Structure 1
């Protein structure tokens, strides 16, 4: 890959985030290549050095994470991790798909809001996270899966995330509690 092709790839990633390409596509050094479970595509995302300060992100031309409604967004990401990371001792990406209702049950359990407010916050956060590559959102099918950006988390991050996973209720346990309460 020559210099101009490499520069073009970096510009694409800086402008639009992780790129989904054909498996046979060439890619520049410094990019992480994640294969989709069905092997029909791969995701390319930048590898940022661990512990990189905002100045490094600025130097690479990568945006620092700025999010609207950061608390709701973080809670929805946590709920998605709980629902889509099937086995926390294994790799996080690509994870499994979960329905919006499953994620909503976990989100509702940790926020304790009325249903209408919870649904608005959930959908808005899913869309924000999908736009940034943290989640993959199939809106017509109402299914969510962990996005390629989660694969860039380091082992120290994964340790903390495993603990968070264990602390959050599962959507299956919530469903059982709700069903038992209806009797």
Structure 2
């Protein structure tokens, strides 16, 4: 029987289960990058430098499922606007925000029936949480940035900061 490379196995597990939180001191399997918020650690696939979205797609490792790409991106932007309050800092780990605030920023950023937009956005928040982009606690009514945001390269942050500065502020911040 052929032994499977532990890095390949670790990546396969991460793709199947998504990012799973572990104790902050737990070892990171080979082939993965550990991202911590102080209490917990997530193991995420480490992609080679220069891996483009097209290359990841070719290997069926797209960084984010996009069944509704536009709305999903807008909900992620609304969550970023609420959780990443100091845009001069890095986004990760951000701070918790009320789901209601994220929904209000989202509704203020799009056109259409507000109640319908809220309902669709809740589903998008769940999809983003399932893929590690957000950490959603529906019981507490809060959302935080997920571990995948920790892997954004610094050169990708300036345009993101510019976009977020143009978005409506969260209700608590705008009051």
* TM bucket, shorter chain: 0.7 to 0.9
**Partner secondary structure for residue 162 of structure 1:** helix
Alpha-carbon RMSD: 2.3
Which structure has the greater CA radius of gyration?
1
**Partner secondary structure for residue 66 of structure 1:** coil
Q: Deviation digits for residues 60-116 of structure 1, max 9, x if unmatched? A: x63453312211111100001100002111111111011111101110111133232
1:1-183 correspondence to structure 2 within 5 Å: 5-37=6-38, 39=39, 41-53=40-52, 54-56=54-56, 58-59=58-59, 62-172=61-171, 176=175
TM-score by length of 1: 0.83
Structure richer in helix, relative to its length: 1
The change in CA–CA distance for 1:69 and 1:163 in structure 2 (over 3 A counts) is same
TM-score by length of 2: 0.86
What residue ranges of structure 1 are gaps of 5+ in the alignment?
177-183
What residue ranges of structure 2 are gaps of 5+ in the alignment?
none
Decide whether the 8 Å contact of 1:6 with 1:27 is kept in 2. Answer: no
The change in CA–CA distance for 1:85 and 1:175 in structure 2 (over 3 A counts) is closer
Q: How many residues align?
A: 172
